Amino acid sequence: MHCNPCRSITFYAAQPMFRRYVAPGGESLDTATCLLWAEQVYLRVECRDQDGRTAWSNPLFTADVL
């Protein structure tokens, strides 16, 4: 997943938070990866910038990509 520079990228699945990447102090992220498996049902991505603004992806259903 690629995005504009942000402070953190979090992947959410059918369970609560699945995986979070946080940029080291003063730096930013623009890419992150997450492995999928069928039991997850879906995956959504949250990107949070340095000012606390948040962008969400639409859900990606694992049945459509696996």
| Domain containing residue 35 | 2-65
Phi-psi domain of 14 (left: phi exceeds 0; alpha: psi -120 through 50; beta: other): alpha
Q: What is the pLDDT of residues 16-49, one digit of tens each?
A: 668 999 999 889 999 999 888 778 888 999 999 9
What is the number of domains present in the chain? 1
d(CA 26, CA 33): 21
Burial of 9 (0-12, 13-18, 19+ CB in 10 A): buried
pTM score over 0.85: no
